[in-house]
Amino acid sequence: MGISYTNSKMKIGLVIYGSINSLSGGYLYDRMLVDYLRSQGDDVQIISIPNKSYYSNFADNWSRELIEIMNDIDIDLMLQDELNHPSLFVLNRKMRKTYPVISIVHHLRSNESHSSIAKWIYRKTEKMYLNSVDGYIFNSDTTKESVKQLTDSDRPYVVSKPGGDRFNEKITNEFVEARVASNDRLNIIFIGNLIPRKQLRVLVEALNLIDSNLWHLDVVGNMEVDIKYSDTVRKRIRLLGMEGHITFSGILSDSELQEKLRRSNVLVVPSSWEGFGIVYLEGMSFGLPAIASTEGAAREIIKHGENGYLVAAGDSGNLASYLKVLITDKDVLTSMSTNALDTYNSYPTWRDSGISSRDFLIKILEEY
């Protein structure tokens, strides 16, 4: 049994790729956790590894500089974002075990759609990495089960679900009802980096099945993460003659995004996989029903037909049919919007998530 940390401050290292201010739900989770730990007086050092490409990152496992950093850093405990597993699956075994290592697992790369060979490599690599750490912080029960199936691990863990209160909005049922009544078209918002997994192309194909005078789509997100995919989607939009009905807003500030969300009616991000889907909960804080894929953890938030819809990944036909319901039946849209607000209000806050994670880290240290 180690010393008591209940009334002490912890020294923690966090390993990430690139900048912690990067735009994604996973980095938002990491930022919120770091902010909470620091608010409690803990010293959190960020260890940033350059993000090259998946296989190029393998070389980090034999980097003398990185191994020295891991061995010499003055910390009580190390956090690692599981996204970094290509750089750490061997290196973790080379470290002098002077502190516990906890992985923050947002979702597994091997759960995404890949070729059979790539999926085999990802599963092997992630399994080796997940077996090299001492415990886990999961963002959802779905992610926890994914790791359990891959590793059959009995390591300690905590499920600390994200909050949706980043914007601290105070949307009311009356606001939602007035917004629905005042709109003569369905204002749809898509939020996410333009990458294949987010499935913007599927949404575009669905909207092509609906009279374009009845909707408008606003696409918010980084368009340069996968330029080839972005170009393909935009080319398809031009080919279908939909340019005047789809706005590409790019990367927005929080205040700009808030304004977009306040004016929208529904959030649609039909990803092929989400480990949690913070964006769905954040949309619900503005009274937006959410439409997502049945794959991954979105089903933990979205109750089909109550606060949104779930569609099979890649199913543009069913996606179009659900959007048509929201366009033609304002009573359904209003009911789903108020239910979305209720869902948001029932969820933990980011502070609750931070408390849960910090209590878990203290327990790990005291038993290490």
Please tell me whether residue 36 adopts helix, strand or coil conformation: helix
340-364 mean pLDDT: 95
Beta strands in the chain (DSSP E): 11-17, 43-49, 77-81, 101-105, 135-138, 157-159, 186-191, 215-220, 246-250, 266-268, 290-293, 308-311
pLDDT at 1 exceeding the cut of 50: no
pLDDT tens for 130-186 read: 999 999 999 999 999 999 999 977 899 999 999 989 988 889 999 999 999 998 899
> What local confidence, expressed as pLDDT, does residue 6 receive?
57
Same domain, 131 and 225: no
Q: Give the number of C-alpha atoms closer than 13 A to the C-alpha of residue 296, restricted to the C-beta side.
A: 30
Q: Which two tokens stand for residue 117?
A: 């060979």
Which domain does 237 fall in, by range? Answer: 173-346
67-84 mean pLDDT: 95
Same domain, 274 and 177: yes
Q: What is the pTM of this model?
A: 0.88
Same domain, 149 and 229: no
Same domain, 279 and 197: yes
59-64 mean pLDDT: 95
> What local confidence, expressed as pLDDT, does residue 169 receive?
82
Amino acid at 159: V
Same domain, 77 and 202: no
pLDDT tens for 239-265 read: 999 999 999 999 999 999 999 999 999
Same domain, 17 and 159: yes
Please check whether residue 6 lies inside any domain of the structure: no
Q: Which two tokens stand for residue 355?
A: 């408390």
Same domain, 96 and 203: no
Please check whether residue 332 lies inside any domain of the structure: yes
> What local confidence, expressed as pLDDT, does residue 120 receive?
95
Other beta carbons within 10 angstroms of residue 33's beta carbon come to: 24
Same domain, 147 and 212: no
Same domain, 339 and 357: no
The CATH number for 187's domain is 3.40.50.2000
Please check whether residue 229 lies inside any domain of the structure: yes
CA distance 55 to 66: 17
Same domain, 44 and 158: yes
> What local confidence, expressed as pLDDT, does residue 357 receive?
97
Mean pLDDT for all residues in the chain: 93
- The closest of 110, 108, 104 to 44, measured between CA atoms, is 104
CA distance 163 to 166: 7
